Amino acid sequence: MKVRGKHAIYSLVLLVAGFIISYSFQYTSQADKRPTNDQWKREDQLRTSILSLQRENRELQNELEDAQTVVNDMEEKIATQEKRSFNMVEEVKKLRKVVGEVGVEGPGIRVELEDSSYIPETENPNDYIVHEEHIRKVIHELYVTGAETIAINGQRISKTSFINCVGPVVNVDGVKHPAPFVITAIGDSDVLWNSLNLSGNVTDQLVDDGVEVKMKRESSIEIPPFINREG
């Protein structure tokens, strides 16, 4: 009986020892396995995510290249369009200048017509003042010799303008102008000058009609846009 009791105690001791040993063995083996397993899994995950990201990056890069080519094409198209529209704009500007929608500046000639300062008592004073036909004559002559833009007293003349006489003043497009009349014309000032001064031409005729004519070549004349007073 005593031997059996001893054996029971020994068996208890060995049980505890065996438990501790096997438990710690199992614990450490699990603990060793778990993190490495996790680590490996994590590494694998990270690698796959890197790979997928790289693939995505490549795809995105391809997309970017495609988009860039599209943008390039568009830019080229726009550039050609712009060139064309630029040309058109230039043309429109030129046409506007011609039509009179915008102000113009350039070299030209300036003709001043004034009533004669000396009117003999016996004569009709009507023969010594500037009439509409004098102005018309000058304007016609200027147009014929290549004037691009003409203005009377700073008022632009267009293709629809009219000039008529109302008593002592001249009516240009509904605006009355008293003497002196300053006709400015943009164009080749030498040509204009010479043509006006041809002997027997406009200047001589005007002088014959008793109009005082002053002419001057200008390097820069500014003419405002035409304002349609009828519209």
Partner 1 sequence: MWLPVLGLLIGLLLGFMSEIRIPDEYTSYLSIAVLAALDTLFGGIRAQLQKTFDDQVFITGFFFNILLAAGLAFLGVHLGVDLYLAAIFAFGVRLFNNIAVIRRLILSKNTKLEATERKNL
207 CB-near residues (< 8 Å, 6+ apart)? 213
In the complex, what is the shortest distance from the CB of residue 13 to partner 1, in angstroms, rounded to a whole number? 5
Nearer to partner 1, 21 or 169 (CB): 21
**Cα–Cα dist 81/89, whole Å:** 12
User: Which segments within 31-167 are labelled E, that is strand?
Assistant: 104-115, 149-152, 155-156, 163-166
CA distances to 18, 93, 105, 106, 167 from 221, rounded to whole Å, are: 119, 18, 5, 5, 30
In the complex, what is the shortest distance from the CB of residue 26 to partner 1, in angstroms, rounded to a whole number? 5
Nearer to partner 1, 8 or 169 (CB): 8
Q: How many residues does the chain have?
A: 231
Nearer to partner 1, 24 or 160 (CB): 24
Residues that bind partner 1 (CB under 8 A): 4, 6-28, 31
In the complex, what is the shortest distance from the CB of residue 46 to partner 1, in angstroms, rounded to a whole number? 24
Residue for token pair 């603990």: 31
In the complex, what is the shortest distance from the CB of residue 70 to partner 1, in angstroms, rounded to a whole number? 58
Nearer to partner 1, 22 or 45 (CB): 22
